Amino acid sequence: MRVVIALGGNALLKRGEPMTAEAQRRNVRIAAEAMAPVAKDHQLVISHGNGPQVGLLALQGAAYKPDEAYPLDVLGAETEGMIGYMIEQELGNLLPFEVPFATILTMVEVDPDDPGFKNPTKFVGPVYEKAEADHLARERNWVVKPDGPKWRRVVPSPLPKRIFEIRPIKWLLERNTVVICAGGGGIPTMYEKGKDRKLTGVEAVIDKDLCSELLARELEADLFIMATDAAGVFVDFGKPTAKVIHRSTPTAIGQYSFPAGSMGPKVDAACRFAVATGKTAAIGALADIPSIVKGEKGTLISKGFGGLSFHP
């Protein structure tokens, strides 16, 4: 069975933790322990978030002059290499020596006419007081918006259109390689308008769940898992009546509304995959990945299910 697992940002750096290599490695080790049983029995592809890591590199880049700072696409490539290295090493410590690994720097094409470029919405980097945010916006040509009581930079979040490295990823899977790719939604790239169609990087962040769904679909994955810090998708979250959906069709779960800042994008991506492929997408806790693969835990979404059911 071919399984794509998308690790949420919490799998790499939990909220409130120091942004150190030691903290990231500790969390990657926990993720590797959850994924190793899957890699032993199935073909495995891993994608991951990179928000805190890009934020850290952006902070380091603040020491540069505005025209010397590295753009977001380059920072994304740096984080893909760093995180992939840690995942390879920690999984390699758990799996037989003969199991091959490969981290692929993954460019993802976006459309220059995507409406996301007209209304930047993706928060990146640290928070600022309004006066400092306004100063940085003028100095660095940023767009800033309020994030709670503070202000942050926002960048476009265009839809993923094509994964350039999909062919080498397939070649590696055919040779039973564990592949780490499409980190942070991939490296956003696009063809400039004009006859030369020059490929260039983009100051944007692609939604990692939608990119992982595209990856799973193009790889013809049998199962697409989005690992997070929750047992699954809750209804009535935060209330005494809260319960976790176990199985659902895309239509049934579509009757509920989920926050855009948490489960909304994951449910959307899961439904897209289920509708397009007729296969199963799952959302659940990182530690439950082996049980999710068996269909025992998490929220499972498929057109083949008979409506909606909840965990006991």
Cβ neighbourhood burial of 297 (10 Å; 0-12, 13-18, 19+): buried
Place of tokens 């009535």: 236
The pair of three-digit structure tokens given for residue 120, joined into one six-digit string = 């930047």
**Those residues with Cβ within 8 angstroms of residue 305's Cβ, 6 or more apart along the chain or in another chain:** 247, 248, 249
What is the torsional sign of CA 123, 127, 130, 135?
A: negative
- 85-119: b (≥16 Cβ within 10 Å) or e: ebbbebbbeebeeebebbbbbbbbbbeeebebbee
Query: Read out DSSP for 21-36?
Result: HHHHHHHHHHHHHHHH
Nearest CA among 45, 66, 292 for reference residue 181: 45
What is the torsional sign of CA 29, 32, 33, 36?
A: negative
Under a CB-based contact definition with an 8 Å cutoff, are residues 232 and 299 in contact?
A: yes
Rounded to an integer, what distance in angstroms lies between the CA atom of residue 201 and that of residue 199? Answer: 7
What residues are annotated to the active site?
Answer: 9-10, 122, 208, 266
